[in-house]
Amino acid sequence: MSSYDFSIFWKESIKQLKEDKLISNQEFDMWFTNINYVSSSENSITVSVPSNFYKDQVVQRYLDVLESRLLQLSGRQLKLHFFIIQKNDKKIPSKNEVIIESHELNEIKPQIRQIKPKSHPQLRYDYTFENFVVGNNNIFAANAAKGISDNPGSSYNPCLIYGGVGMGKTHLMQSIGNEIFKSGADTKIVFISAETFVSEFIQSLKNKTQQAFKNRYRNNVDVLLIDDIHEFHSKEGTQDELFHTFNALYDANKQMVFTCDRPPSELVNFANRLKSRFEMGLNVDLQPPNYETRLAILKNMNDESKINIPDEVMEMICKNITTNIRDLKAALTKLIAYADLVGKNITTEIAQNQLKQAFNAPIQANITIDRVQRIVSEYFNITPNDLKGKKRTKVITFPRQISMYIIREVTDFSTTEIGLEFGGRDHTTVMHSCQRIEDRMKTDSTIEPLVMNLIRSVKEHGNK
């Protein structure tokens, strides 16, 4: 009989998934009411699912988040194993019955997931120094990051990496984590977005588990990586908690790295004592890359792909997309996908056609905030006043965030100006909204086409 019982961590991890609103109640009911805990071993938990379809869906949608929750909760790298209940398996053994141990599962045809190459559960495996192209714009930051991964906790502590959207902050920060992880040393690395940190903290207050939260971040970490700390603005309670976390880790010579969309001095609604902590160690910035660096980034990316995009096309992309590495990469990805699907070689004409939108994207002088608000509210069947008003129901906030995002994309109004046109909201709210949409685009494939269509309508109206 197995002496391990991690059922409590399993239960808590799916509970958190629900409570943190990482998935809707509907989705939760769909996927999690039919999964049952079966058994544990030293480094795994086995759960049962009704079909292969179930297993694949749960693996695709939730495996990463579940495994990283399990790590956070238990401090162990627990892998999730699945087995499919056959029709004649009447039920799952209950606690008092025989616990099925891993090797016994053979009898009921376990569907054990292939174990991935060893990678840190919270880090993207491809965010490495090898994949990070160094140019004039980022050489200082890149060298500092390498220095940190060679000697965490010693020279550059804390380190704050700042720069605009899509400049490579997350990539560089995760490279530090991946490098230390690869070195094989027994170093506990925790990567967390500021947003998740906030929601975990709030959750711990609700559940009265503050002590566990404190332990997790103050006593159980060697390298703490917190992404997008500007998200802590106006969150006084969490700032306070972070301040104490910071001090505990700093005193214990543990490495901390933060990313931020601006230098700490420009943070608003931040406790001064926390700002000064961020300023203490090394602050490095990531600037927009110049033409040569942009080209090097694309070439590096194209080398990884089986489809070859001609140099002249890459040069054209680099001339036209100048500000943001994320957009630059997205343009190349689009062409690679096109070539793959249509089976054609990419010429400059095809590229121009496919990337029209990205090339024209930046500024359209004649587009007003008012027009975007009208078109978006019409589409969602609400009024422009709803967008400007105070209501925070989902029916309104989503269109509001979309409107702000579109205005940021197609005009050059500042976030402060945009905030004013949305009932006098703070510029950080505007930034936060845009970030929300960007984040959702990454996980929900329906959002990008929706935004693109709205942008098209906004532009068309402009020409009438």
> CB of 123: closest distance to Mg ion in angstroms?
13
> CB of 335: closest distance to ligand ADP in angstroms?
16
Determine if 133 is a binding residue for ligand ADP (CB under 6 A): yes
Q: Which of 144, 167, 407, 437 binds ligand ADP (CB under 6 A)?
A: 167
Residues 168-187 that bind Mg ion (CB under 5 A): 169-170
Q: How many CB atoms lie within 10 A of CB 114?
A: 5
Q: Which does 133 bind (CB under 5 to 8 A by kind): ligand ADP, Mg ion, none?
A: ligand ADP
Determine if 191 is a binding residue for ligand ADP (CB under 6 A): no
- The answer to whether 361 touches 351, Cβ cutoff 8 Å, is no
Taking the C-alpha atoms of residue 369 and residue 411, their distance in angstroms, rounded to an integer, is 8
SS3 state at 104: helix
> CB of 142: closest distance to Mg ion in angstroms?
16
Segment contacting ligand ADP by CB under 6 A, of 30-38, 92-100, 132-140, 397-405:
132-140
As beta bridge partners, residue 111 has 82
- Nearest 5°: the CA angle 270, 271, 277 is 100
- Choice between 224 and 286, CB closer to ligand ADP: 286
> CB of 195: closest distance to ligand ADP in angstroms?
13
Cα atoms in the Cβ-side hemisphere of radius 13 Å centred on 149 = 20
Determine if 293 is a binding residue for Mg ion (CB under 5 A): no
Q: Which of 36, 39, 44, 138 binds ligand ADP (CB under 6 A)?
A: 138
Lookup: tokens for 328: 């630059």
Q: Which of 15, 146, 214, 326 binds ligand ADP (CB under 6 A)?
A: 326
- Choice between 303 and 349, CB closer to ligand ADP: 303
> CB of 157: closest distance to ligand ADP in angstroms?
21
Residue ranges of E strands in 247-335? 255-260, 282-286
Segment contacting ligand ADP by CB under 6 A, of 27-35, 113-121, 127-135, 414-422:
127-135
Determine if 166 is a binding residue for ligand ADP (CB under 6 A): yes
- Scanning the structure block, which residue is given the tokens 């100006």? 417
| Backbone phi, psi, residue 38, to 5° | -115, -60
Segment contacting ligand ADP by CB under 6 A, of 165-173, 178-186, 232-240, 396-404:
165-173
Determine if 138 is a binding residue for Mg ion (CB under 5 A): no
Gyration radius from the chain CA atoms: 24
> CB of 16: closest distance to ligand ADP in angstroms?
25
Cα atoms in the Cβ-side hemisphere of radius 13 Å centred on 206 = 9
| Bond from prior residue into 158 cis (ω within 30 degrees of 0) | yes
Residues 6+ apart with CB under 8 A from 93: 38, 99, 100
Cα atoms in the Cβ-side hemisphere of radius 13 Å centred on 240 = 6
- Interface with Mg ion (CB under 5 A): 169-170
- Interface with ligand ADP (CB under 6 A): 131-133, 138, 163, 165-171, 297, 325-326, 329
